[in-house]
């Protein structure tokens, strides 16, 4: 059963018919005032439809409006669920760490595969002779290095004022 307000609204909108219309109009205390109010409500409805009609949007405005609405819905949905996704999830971080470690191991294996740990380095030399004459220079050091593979001898002199004759390079 409809309330009076529901019947009144249906009567204003012209949705009552037949026996229901006759019964409702008979229940009105002042039918002339009600008819005047109905006429005023219909005029107001027509005016509002005319003035407040949907604005015509260009394609750009419509597309922009759709995007703003979608962003608003997604933001509201994320706020309700409390989820904020990031690119660096724990799973992706673990996988990238494992991949980096695997790449390091492969590179280290290629670099160190030719090395024999017990073998002497090619840069190691042997000190052959270190002799200082205190009369010539008390703080002097003379070192001689030789590499057999490259057949090179290096004479290293520090703090010597003059080179003795027996150290002449040949």
User: The tokens 């409702």 sit on which residue?
Assistant: 24
pLDDT for res 64? 84
Number of domains in the chain: 3
Task: Report if residue 120 sits inside a domain.
Answer: no
116 in a structural domain: no
pLDDT at 170: 43
Asked if 13 and 45 sit in the same domain, the reply is yes
Write down the pLDDT at residue 94.
93
For residue 143, what are the β-bridge partners?
Answer: 156
Q: How far apart are CA 28 and CA 8, in angstroms?
A: 10
Q: Is residue 107 part of a domain?
A: no
Prediction pTM value: 0.32
The parent domain of residue 27 ranges over 4-51
Q: Render pLDDT for 69-107 as a digit per residue (tens, 0 to 9).
A: 998 888 887 766 665 566 778 889 999 999 999 999 999
- pLDDT at position 117 is 58
Query: Which two three-digit tokens encode residue 141?
Result: 């050091």
φ/ψ (deg, to 5) at 156 = -110, 120
CA atoms of 122 and 164, how far apart (whole Å): 31
Same domain, 18 and 33: yes
Over its C-alpha atoms, the chain yields an Rg (Å, rounded) of: 51
Strands 126-127 and 141-147: antiparallel
Instruction: Give CA separation, 145 vs 2, 99, 128, in Å.
Output: 114, 46, 6
Residues 47 and 61 in one domain: no
Low-confidence ranges of the chain (pLDDT < 70): 1, 79-86, 114-138, 141-146, 148, 150-151, 153, 155, 159-170
In a domain, 80, yes or no: yes
* Res 106: pLDDT: 92
State how far the Cα of 112 lies from the Cα of 31, in Å rounded to an integer: 105
Buried b / exposed e over 57-68, threshold 16 CB at 10 Å, is eeeeeeeeeeee
């Amino acid at each position: 059963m409809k309330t009076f307000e529901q019947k009144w609204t249906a009567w204003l909108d012209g949705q009552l018919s037949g026996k229901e219309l006759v019964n409702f109009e008979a229940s009105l205390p002042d039918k002339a005032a009600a008819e005047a109010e109905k006429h005023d409500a219909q005029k107001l409805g027509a005016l509002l439809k005319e003035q407040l009609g949907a604005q015509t949007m260009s394609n750009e405005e419509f597309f922009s409006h759709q995007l703003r609405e979608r962003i608003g819905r997604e933001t509201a949905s994320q706020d309700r669920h409390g989820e904020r996704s990031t690119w660096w999830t724990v799973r992706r971080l673990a996988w990238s760490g494992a991949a980096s470690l695997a790449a390091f191991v492969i590179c280290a294996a290629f670099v160190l595969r030719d090395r024999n740990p017990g073998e002497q380095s090619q840069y190691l030399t042997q000190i052959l002779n270190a002799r200082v004459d205190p009369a010539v220079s008390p703080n002097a050091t003379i070192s001689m290095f030789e590499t057999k593979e490259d057949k090179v001898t290096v004479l290293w002199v520090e703090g010597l004022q003059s080179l003795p004759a027996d150290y002449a390079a040949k």
